[in-house]
Structure 1
Amino acid sequence: MTSIQTKKELTEEFKNVKYILTSSMRTKLLLAIYEKSKNLEELRIELQKPSATILHGLKELENINLIKKSQKYYELTSNGYLLTTNMVKLIENWYSLNKNKTFWNNHDLSDIPEEMLKNIYLLKDVEYENSTTSDLSNAFTKYIKLISKSTKLQIVLPIYSENHFKHIILLLNEDKFKKLELIVSKNILNSIKRNTDLNKALLKNRKVKIKCVNHDLKIFLTRSNNFMSLSLFFKDGLYDDSQILIGKDKNAMRWALNLFKSF
C-alpha cells in the first residue's frame, strides 16, 4: 500500500468518523448501548429525548451497520463495537490531555514512544503536582516521600542529581529497597563511575541493577510497587523539576511499566 493510497483511505474513514462525532445524538446512542443492549424506553429515559428523535438516530446508525435491533433491544454490531471502543479511547485521551494540559503543553514528548502517547488515556486519573514561588521544592518533596514508602523501584533517570542520589542511597542503606533498577545514559553512568561514593553504593550493590542506553534521556520516570511518577524536560532542553505527574491506579502503573520496558 502506497502512502497516497493510505492518505486516501484515511480521508474516507475520517468522513465516517466525522459523521458520528458531529451528531451528539449518534454519539450518545453508541455510548449508551456500548456496555449492554437497551430498548427504546430505556434509551428515552437515559438520554432524556423524545422517542422520535432517538428512533431517527437509531435508524441512521442501522443504515451504516453500526447497530442492529434484536427483538425490542438495540445492540452494537461488531463494527459498531470496534468504532465505539476507539471513540471511548479518543474521549478519554482528550480528557487526560486536557486535565493536565499545562504539563503536556510545556514539555518535550519526543522520548515517549508513539504507542505510549496513543494510550495516554491510561493516565486520566493521575494527579498533577507543581512547585510554587512559596514552595520551590514541593514536587521534589512529594517524590521523596513516595519513594521512601516503596520497596521496589524502576527508574529512567535522565539527570545526574546528587540530591536524588543522596536520598536513594540513604534508603538503600536503611534497607528500605529490595530491588532498584536504573536506566541511565552513558554520560550518567560514567559520572556515577567517577564518583567513589556512588560507585560503591550503586554499582557494587547487589540490590541495584543498572542498564545503559546510548542516547541522552528526556524523561524522568519512576515506577514502584505503589506509585508511578513522570517528569519531563522543557522544549529548550532544560530539565523541569517543578512539575510532576503522580499516579497510583492500576492503569497508570501499567502505562509506566510499558514505558519502562520500552527503554
Structure 2
Amino acid sequence: MNDFEIYKKMDDDVQAIYRSRLLTEMLLSLNGGSKKLSHLREITESTSQAIIPKLRKLEADHLIETKEHEYFLTQTGIIVASGIADSFVTFWTINKFKHFWLRHYLEGIPSPLLKEIGCLYESEVLKNRGMKILNVYNNQLRMLKEADHIYGISSVVTKGYADSISERVKEGISIELIVPFHVAEELKQSPYVEKLAALKSYKNFKLMLMNEDIKVGLIVTDKRLSLNLYKKEGVEYDISTGLFSSDSKAIEWGERLFWYCKGKADFTKFQ
C-alpha cells in the first residue's frame, strides 16, 4: 500500500486523534513523562468529566496505561506520540522559516535529513542587509574561532575561510572538511594550494572530496550550526542568507548531514 491507501484505511483512527484537542494534548504531554489526572487537567485546562472518557479511549487503543494513579504511554503509545510530536515540529519549522525554504534549493539536502528538518526549529535566519553586509560571513568566522572541533561541507572557498581553518588546525583543533569537485579545483590554485601544503603534516586535519556536486554549505561545531543553501534555481550559492543555531538537536542534525556526505566522500591529498 502507498501512503494515501494507508491513510484511507486508518482514516477514522488518525482523524480521532488529530481532530480531538484533548487526545492530542494528552498524548503530547505524556510523551514528556507520566502524569496524574490532576496534572493532565492543568495542562489541558479541562475537567475530569471531559478528560476521563478520552483517557479510556487511549487505554482501549493500548496507547496508555495506569499505574499508581499515574498515566503512562505504552511502547506503542510512545511511537504514536513521538510521530505526532515530530509532525507538529516539522510543520512549525517549515512555517517559521517558510521564506528561507521557499527561496532556496532544498534538493541539496539529502532526503533522510530533509525528513528530519524539524530538528532545526530552534534556529534563526541571518541575512546580509544594510550596514551588516558581511553578517553571515562574520558569524561563520566567529563560529570557527570559538569551536573545539569543526565539521564542514564547503560549496565555496574564500581567503578568509581558508585563513581561519589554517589557523585553527595549527592550534590543534580537529577539523574535517568535505568539498565538491569544483571547490577542489580552486584549492589547487594559489593561494589555497600553499595553505594546504602547510597543513599536510597535521593529523588533526582531514580533507575529503565528493565527486558529485554538493548543493549545500555546512559548518557544524561543538557549539553551533550554520547552514547555507543554493538559491531556488540551484545554480547560484547564496552567501547572503544562512540558518544558524546553537540548539543541541540542530547541531546533531548537522552532524548527521556531515556523516551522510562523508560516507560518499573520499580522502584526498592535493599536490
Instruction: Say whether the fold is shared (TM-score over 0.5).
Output: yes
How far does the alpha carbon of each residue in 1:169-191 deviate from its partner, in whole angstroms, 9 at most, with x for none? 4x358x34533322111222122
1:252 to 232, 250, 253: 250
TM-score when scaled to structure 2? 0.83
Give me the whole-angstrom Cα distance separating, in 2, the residues matched to 1:46 and 1:180. 45
The residue number in structure 1 matching 2:232 is: 235
Q: Does 1:182 align with 2:169?
A: no
Displacement, 1:219?
A: 0.5
Alignment CA distance shift 1:12-1:203 (3 Å): farther
Give me the whole-angstrom Cα distance separating, in 2, the residues matched to 1:33 and 1:151. 37
1:124-203 to structure 2, matched below 5 A, reads 124-169=121-166, 171=167, 175-176=170-171, 178-193=173-188, 195-203=189-197
Question: Helix, strand or coil for the counterpart of 1:65?
Answer: coil
Give me the whole-angstrom Cα distance separating, in 2, the residues matched to 1:168 and 1:36. 43
Give me the whole-angstrom Cα distance separating, in 2, the residues matched to 1:146 and 1:40. 46
Alignment CA distance shift 1:83-1:168 (3 Å): same
**Is the contact made by 2:108 and 2:229 (CA closer than 8 Å) also made in structure 1?**
no
1:5-44 to structure 2, matched below 5 A, reads 7-13=4-10, 15-44=12-41
Question: Helix, strand or coil for the counterpart of 1:216?
Answer: coil
The residue number in structure 1 matching 2:58 is: 61
Give me the whole-angstrom Cα distance separating, in 1, the residues matched to 2:90 and 2:2. 28
Give me the whole-angstrom Cα distance separating, in 2, the residues matched to 1:180 and 1:203. 16
Matched to 1:189, the amino acid is A
**Is the contact made by 2:230 and 2:237 (CA closer than 8 Å) also made in structure 1?**
yes
Structure 1, 76-85 or 97-106: larger mean CA deviation = 97-106
Alignment CA distance shift 1:251-1:203 (3 Å): farther
- Count of paired positions: 257
Matched to 1:250, the amino acid is S
Q: Please provide the CA RMSD for this pair.
A: 2.4
How far does the alpha carbon of each residue in 1:114-139 deviate from its partner, in whole angstroms, 9 at most, with x for none? 22122223222223211113322111
Identity %: 24
1:86-125 to structure 2, matched below 5 A, reads 86-125=83-122
Displacement, 1:84?
A: 0.4
Structure 2 unaligned blocks of 5 or more:
262-271
Question: Helix, strand or coil for the counterpart of 2:56?
Answer: helix
How far does the alpha carbon of each residue in 1:153-173 deviate from its partner, in whole angstroms, 9 at most, with x for none? 22101124345335444x358
Displacement, 1:27?
A: 0.6
TM-score when scaled to structure 1? 0.86
The residue number in structure 2 matching 1:224 is: 221
